[in-house]
Amino acid sequence: MLVPDITRRKLLLGGATLAAAAALPTELWGETAPQSPIRLGVASYSFRKFGRTDVIKFMKELDTPYLNVKDVHLPMGSSAEIKQASDEFRASGIQLTAAGTIYFTKDEDDDMRRKFDYCKVAGIPLIVAGPTPGVLPRLEKFAKQYDMKIAIHNHGPEDEYFPSPLDALKAVQNMDSRMGICIDVGHTARTGTDVPGAIKTVGSRLYDVHMKDLANATSKESQVAVGDGSLPVEKIFAALIAIQYPGYVDLEYEINEDNPMPGMIKSFAYMRGVLAGMGYKA
């Protein structure tokens, strides 16, 4: 083990212990430890009750530059408005890794073009998408035209079309390689699908991950801070590393919307602690 005195029991303590551990100088973890291949980011939907200035401040507190931005924080206005907002994020050191979830329910060029133009102006390379099956051929056409990746987000048992990432994979596996998947680990678990197994099955089509935890793996309402629930976080990270996943793991903290930061700080501390326990500089 490259990291001294990190036991599974200590990792499971969470909260203050892991926050303190994450704050220790890097050299205490061992000079030979490699940088973590898992890049932890945030889905800005977690901050849906807050404005852009608050989001920027929160991202600095969480010590990550990677943001999957929702349109509440980067509205689909005029090109000038989109550029001004995206430039504000970048000037603050934030990297806009994806936009969404953006929904595609109209099989119409004008509707899709507006959404692709929005991402192009903002300089965002990936759309986390909620499409209906009927729009997929047109969505593929636009993905090719704009050279932009699409990651279909699964939404669990309530999702009529793509409850599991494996359902989305079936829909895109014979399409252009720009058509891929965003695995929401909580929604995936609620379908009874093994999350690490799904990651390995989706493989090179995996373009984004939305991270959360559930006290009860079948209950959407049981979301808790990452590390306080039942999802196998270390196995999820190990599966991502095994497929050499090049994207981001975005915390999507959907509870405590008026005061999300305590749970998000705890979630980041736990995830960084797990990575440290796996032998990485997190």
pLDDT, tens only, 33-74: 899 999 999 999 999 999 999 999 999 999 999 999 999 999
Please say if the pLDDT value at position 5 is more than 50.
no
Higher per-residue confidence, 249 vs 27: 249
Q: Is the Cβ–Cβ distance between 245 and 231 less than 8 Å?
A: no
pLDDT tens digit sequence for 162-209: 999 999 999 999 999 999 999 999 999 999 999 999 999 999 999 999
Strands 66-69 and 126-131: unpaired
Find out if CATH 3.20.20.150 is the number for domain 37-277. Answer: yes
Tell me the whole-structure pTM to 2 decimals.
Answer: 0.88
Please say if the pLDDT value at position 238 is more than 80.
yes
Higher per-residue confidence, 6 vs 271: 271
Identify the pLDDT of residue 31. Answer: 60
Identify the pLDDT of residue 32. Answer: 76
- Residue linked to tokens 């079309």: 161
DSSP 105-151: ----HHHHHHHHHHHHHHT--EEEEEE-GGGHHHHHHHHHHHT-EEE
Q: Name the amino acid, one letter, at 62.
A: L
In the chain, where are the structural domains located?
37-277
Q: Is the Cβ–Cβ distance between 146 and 115 less than 8 Å?
A: no
Confidence of residue 30 (pLDDT cuts 50, 70, 90): low
Mean of pLDDT over the chain: 90
Confidence of residue 136 (pLDDT cuts 50, 70, 90): very high
Identify the pLDDT of residue 268. Answer: 98
Percent of the chain predicted with pLDDT > 70? 89
Q: Is the Cβ–Cβ distance between 209 and 247 less than 8 Å?
A: yes
Identify the pLDDT of residue 15. Answer: 42
Range scoring the smallest mean pLDDT among 31-35, 153-157, 226-230, 250-254: 31-35
**Tokens representing 69?**
């931005």
Query: Where do the DSSP E strands lie in the chain?
Result: 39-43, 66-69, 95-104, 126-131, 149-153, 179-184, 206-211, 213-214, 223-224, 248-251
Rounded CA separation 72/57 (Å)? 16
| Mean pLDDT of the region 113-121 | 98
Identify the pLDDT of residue 281. Answer: 86
